[in-house]
Structure 1
């Protein structure tokens, strides 16, 4: 069985806010709805979809060219995040997307929405790591993050 939902946040591999998707019942009931990533679809929800798309367009970069300029600025630099670490370079916790966004801003880079930052795996060690920042539909930046001991 499938359930029709409206995404309220971006879900990797599924869609962007405002998209209407059909997913299996268990995925909707146990993951998407409890975490606030989606709401149930109904005929009266068309206004909600329009409001979500309007808010998304305000947050997005104006054009592909502007997003490409931000991408070039991001990819040309290394960003340093300080974190507490134990012996062997293991961190006490993980480096969050909020910390990465703050490091980019602190080093003079462009403002980046933390929800658009995607790490392939949790950053739990010192060293250099790659993350992806989704700037516009079809425009992403590979950002180098260096984690150093605090």
Structure 2
């Protein structure tokens, strides 16, 4: 009996593989427990169509991240913070501050979790990196000025 694995099965194979198994094991365990489907032509065609659809969605998402990375590399948001008498900031610039500045000044919404920046406690120009999924990243500068 040929089955298409829907989930990984230890000792048998990974999801998406087609395997030959004994009839009882295939019907009673794999199909019965939802680990596999009987590998008919229709099931295989449906699975292949689903794989193509997922690949297209993945490529579209990668392209979206690349476009966003290009936009980020061209901008320099300005963050205003209160400054003490010695020229240092009260507190520091956070990822939240950078994400809010990007949204307010450039209309770009980013999750602050993808931003990486060093501790910023002075005014000046600093580098920030946004790390998206699929090994796509963008480096851009922020300018911290006295309020």
TM-score (norm 2): 0.57
Unaligned runs of 5+ in 1: 1-59
8 Å Cα contact 1:81/1:147 also seen in 2: yes
Residue 113 of structure 1 corresponds to 111
- Give the direction of change, closer, same or farther, for the CA distance of 1:114–1:62 in structure 2 (3 Å limit): farther
Tell me the alpha carbon deviations over residues 94-123 of structure 1, each in whole angstroms, 9 at most, x when there is no partner.
Answer: 00100100000111242110111111x201
Q: Distance in 1 between matches of 2:77 and 2:86?
A: 22
2:126 maps to 1:129: yes
Q: Which has the larger radius of gyration?
A: 2
4+ residue stretches of structure 1 with deviation over 3 A? none
TM-score (norm 1): 0.56
- Aligned alpha-carbon RMSD (Å): 1.9
**Pairing 1:1-150 to 2, within 5 Å after superposition:** 63-119=61-117, 121-150=118-147
Higher strand share: 1
Aligned pairs, number: 90
